[in-house]
Structures are given as structure tokens and as C-alpha cells.
Structure 1
Amino acid sequence: MHSSMPGSLVIWYDSVTIDGELNWQDQLNEYNKPFFDICDGIFVNYTWKEDNPRLSAAVAGDRKFDVYMGIDVFGRNTYGGGQWN
């Protein structure tokens, strides 16, 4: 992608695992890290728990700023709530 379109970014979504299954991980982990390793970043589903950002950063290592934690603007099923469940 980068050679075809310089300056482009490829961002992976956390839900497709190395087993080829659609299974939201809500963090960067061993089931989606191989995809993270070959792209520019990962977008984590919005239903993550309090520890997931820290755990994801640990897995990402030097690339912790390439992990993007999703949010639901209505706060549905998310850490901290939003009272719109």
C-alpha cells in the first residue's frame, strides 16, 4: 500500500483474529498483534475495560501510540458509562 500510495495509512480493526474469526478483542493482544505488526496502527473496539489500554500499550511496546482506543459517543457498554445503555 505504501509503495502504491505514499503517505497512506493502514489501520487494522481489532475484531478479526489470527484464526480468521470475527471476535472483538477490545485490546491489542496475541490474537490480533500479527496484523498490527504489518500495518500502521490498530483501532480497538469501544467496549474495552479499564485495564485494556495499559495491557495494549504493553503488547505494542515502542508502538504504543499506534494503538487507538475506540469510544462510543453515547457511552453504550463502555468504561465509565454514559447513561445511554
Structure 2
Amino acid sequence: MPLFYRHVPPAKHENVIAVRIFCLPEGLSCVVSWPLPEPGLRVFSPTANPPQGIEEALPYAVFLSSHLETKIAVEMDDGLDWDPSWGELVDMH
């Protein structure tokens, strides 16, 4: 099961995959960004057909994380709940 982190201290932001989950009228959208070896950003939007944005974004972040040997930091809109089927979400200390 993939491991994701929330509440990542600013000092540890340098080498993480950042995932931002937010709600649009169409459904959940996700932005995945990474700093190394070259900065990048990919947006996953809700679609009429599966897989939805989040169902593509989180596996993509896991792939990048294993390739770049980084952790995945997750930030979500207020009012959104983490779905345990996405993986384990823990606090980073």
C-alpha cells in the first residue's frame, strides 16, 4: 500500500513529490509536481470516464517517488477526506 505524508515541515520540502488535491464542480482534481532532477508539473482533471484525476495522479506520484527516491507530500482542500483505498496517509515528523 502506498505511503503518503501530510503536514510536511518546510525544511523537508526540497526533495518531495507534492500532490495537491482539490475539488472542482466536476469532481476531484489533482496536481503533481516534483523538484528534481528537473522541475515538473502535471495536472490530472476529472473526466467523464474512469479513471478520474485522482485515480491517475496518485499512482503517477508513486511511480515518480520510486524513480526519484523521494517521499510524497499531500495537501488537500478543507472539507476533503482521505480515502484509505488511495494508500496510507501519515504525518511527517
Q: TM-score if structure 2 supplies the norm length?
A: 0.32
**Bigger RCO of structures 1 and 2 (CA < 8 A, at least 6 apart):** 2
Higher strand share: 2
- TM-score normalized by the length of structure 1: 0.34
